[in-house]
Amino acid sequence: WKITSGTYCSYNAFSNVDLRVQIKIPGGVDAYIVTVLGERKEVTEELWRECQISSLLRAIMHSDPLAYNVTGLRRVTPVPTLRDEARLVDAVTQQFWNGWSLGSNAETQMISTSRNFLADGLMRYFAGAGRYADYAAEILAPLAYAPLGGQQSPVRESMDFKGVDPEIASILAETYLEGDEEVQAVRVMHQALKVKPSCYPLLYIQAEFLRRKDQLESALKIARMAVKYAPSEFHAWAKLAEIYIDTKDFKRALLTLNACPMYTFVGRDLPRVPPPRRINYPVKSDILADYNLGEAFNNSTHGPVPSNSRSSIDSDAPGLAEEMAQNETSDILRLSAPTLNGTFAHAYRFLSNIFGVVGWDELLLLRSQVFVMEEEYRNSSVPGVAVDDEVEDEEDDHLPLSALRERALSESQSKG
């Protein structure tokens, strides 16, 4: 076989265009973009930069083998060298203010500068290696602060807040908190809240910081302010419910969870790869030759390790084996908890936390004290009254109008 041409495609999520590089052998290289209407246009430097960031974000967000795995897929480091990282930092600094155009996760209602896929991807990239200080110093601090005197130095008292977008300060404060630089985080939150006291991301970070310090009363006040300024955001309500759980105020926690805005979960659009026609795996002897597997495990004290845990359970503990077999056929496997995603999974986790503290019976008692279920509402006055009313209504539907009028008249005369 002989390769005569090839086309490399990469989607630009900022401008919603497809960048293509076509190679012809012999011939040359041609780069162009294809719009959503199928039009072919020239590539600009800005489009190249947007495409670079888009491809790197896809590599970072899809880097979890458990979430996305394809047969024969080879995972490489998105940013292999420090030089490539410097180029990434420069591109992200120029494109950071347009990150809202990428969208956000399913748990965010209002897309903003701090709540989008660009901010999430950068946090995941630097947090994966514990490089919070690098993220704060190289990207966030230059966007939020202007050093006096023109000298580039770390963020200290000699740096004033720009006030361009306080949400950048919320990411910076969160990064400082994760990097155990609480003094810097408090200073950033203080300066940013003076510029915009109603900034919901800042209030959210401040409430979480106070909750970690066991200042629950102050955290509760800040969380209520976050809900006041962002009533449509799930995270604000969730943080308020979490603080109520910490303060053992489970009734208000249930009411808050019931008032949480729930969003429809939209899963990540992962690229689908068709099944391969043929797979050539390396020979087993070649794999073993390249890796030192160490000595074989020998447990002489406690005996050999059973190859099948179920067989050992069946032989050693027949009662446990019967219990496991009974659980497999019970209704536990049909619970909806494993299928919950997004905001519904978060709310279920809070309910599980309450259940772990008070128990099932107490949780049912709290629910009956806070909420009135539909069946309880129908049978609340006298048992059987609601059912009898429904039966009478069904019987009344078959009576003529004159009979209903006469019966109503007789009832009114008897009452008089």
Choice between 372 and 346, residue whose per-residue pLDDT is larger: 346
The CA–CA distances, whole Å, from 1 to 4, 95, 188, 246 equal: 10, 43, 61, 67
Give mean pLDDT, residues 105-124.
88
Poorest-confidence range of 61-65, 115-119, 350-354? 61-65
What are the tokens at 224?
A: 């209520």
Output the average pLDDT for the chain.
77
SS3 328: helix
pLDDT for 223: 94
CB contact at 8 A, 350 and 253: yes
The whole-angstrom separation of Cα 7 and Cα 20 is 7
- In the structure, what pLDDT confidence band is assigned to residue 177 with cuts at 50, 70 and 90? very high
pLDDT for 406: 61
pLDDT for 383: 45
The CA–CA distances, whole Å, from 234 to 103, 119, 238, 307, 367 equal: 16, 18, 6, 47, 21
Bridge-based pairing of strands 17-24 and 29-34 is: antiparallel
Give mean pLDDT, residues 106-120.
88
Q: Is it the case that residue 398 has pLDDT exceeding 80?
A: no
Choice between 395 and 211, residue whose per-residue pLDDT is larger: 211
pTM (2 d.p.): 0.71
Q: Is it the case that residue 109 has pLDDT exceeding 70?
A: yes
CB contact at 8 A, 270 and 239: no
pLDDT for 20: 93
pLDDT for 395: 46
